[in-house]
Every structure is written in structure tokens, then in C-alpha cells.
Structure 1
Amino acid sequence: MAQPAKPASTVKTTQAAKPASKTTGTEPVQFIFDKSNYRWLIISVAVVAFGFVLMAGTTDIYSTTKIVIAPIVVLAGFALGFFAILKKPATN
């Protein structure tokens, strides 16, 4: 087996490294999502959970609620989640 090559010696520079400057800016932190985005995301999680509750249940496997309505509700919840992520925050 070939052994890995040893790294070359370190390069010395004449300039000292600049210390990281600490900014004490008064700018507010800019978040990616707005408050409305989080509301829509919470609503979408609730809709998906409600769809799974509709799917769970009793002994009747072939009920219309389980095989038609519940999957549509779950897909609607996922669509709301995509909307919540892609929605642009309102500019002030």
C-alpha cells in the first residue's frame, strides 16, 4: 500500500492575522420565515395529524372515510406545508 504523502512545511507570512471584529450593530436579526409562515406551518401539521386520525380507527377497513377522505386531508395538509415554506414574508 502506498502511504499518504506528508504535508509540506507551514508557510510563514509577514502579516499578523486580523482578529475577528465584533460588531455591536443595532440591526435587528432578520429571520427567513415570518410569523404568518409559522402559523401556516402549525396549521398544516394539525391538518396532517387530523388526516391520520381519520385513517386510524375501527374495524371497517373499506370505509369511504379511510380510503378517500383521509388521504385527501393528509395531502391537503402537505400542500399547506409547502405553501407555508414557499410563502414570502411581508415586507415592512
Structure 2
Amino acid sequence: MAKRNPSKKTDQQPKKEFIFQKKNYTFMFIGIAFIALGFILMGGGGTDDPNVFNEEIYNFRRIRLAPTLVLIGLGIEVYAILLNPHNKD
């Protein structure tokens, strides 16, 4: 039976690894940027006088473009979470 040398570590420590890698975080930041841009584009269109209605609230940017950007951003976030960075495809 061989003696163990206490100066050498034969037990290897398990490698600590994050769940997400750089590629995941890159897509997450892109998704956050899309969502933030969508919410920024949704803002505005109000009026200082509460008795005056402003039709600007119903323009294309606020009704179609901004919500579409938010949904695209959420889709990118889901993709970033499900992305396997170790896959070599």
C-alpha cells in the first residue's frame, strides 16, 4: 500500500463555473437595450393642459414601433437565457 504524500494534493477541486458565459451576457445586454429603447419611444405625447386632447399619443411610434421593440427585446432575453455557449454550432 502506497503512502500518501501530504504535500501533494491528489484531490482536485471542482472547477467553479458560471451558468452564463460572455455570449449569454452579450445577448442579454442587447435585449435590455431593445426593451429600454421601446419604453423610451413609448414615452411623451402628453400635453400641459389637461383640458386639451393630444392626438400625438396615437401615432405609429407609440402604438406599433415601441411595443414591437419591447417584444423583440423580450424574445432576445429568452434566447440569451436558453443559449448554450458551450455548443460549437
The TM-score with structure 2 as length reference comes to: 0.69
**Which residue in the other structure is 1:25 paired with?**
12
2-structure distance, mates of 1:76, 1:51:
9
> Which structure is richer in relative contact order (CA contacts within 8 A, separation 6 or more)?
2
Match of 1:55 in 2: 42
Please state if 1:67 is matched with 2:63: yes
Match of 2:30 among 25, 38, 43: 43
- CA offset at residue 26 of structure 1? 4.5
Query: Which structure 1 residue ranges, 5 or more long, are not aligned?
Result: 1-23
Identity of aligned residues (%): 38
Match of 2:79 among 67, 74, 83: 83
4+ residue segments displaced more than 2 Å: 24-28
Partner SS for 2:86: coil
Bigger helix share: 2
Local SS of the residue matching 2:12: coil
Question: How many aligned positions are there?
Answer: 69
Structure-2 change in CA distance of 1:31 and 1:71 (3 Å): same
Read off the aligned partner of 2:62 and give its amino acid letter: K
Of 21, 40, 44, the residue aligned with 1:34 is 21
Stretches of structure 2 lacking an aligned partner (at least 5 in a row): 1-10, 47-55
TM-score, scaled relative to structure 1: 0.67
**Coordinate RMSD, CA, aligned:** 1.8
Report the alpha carbon displacement of residue 58 of structure 1 after superposing the two structures with TM.
2.4
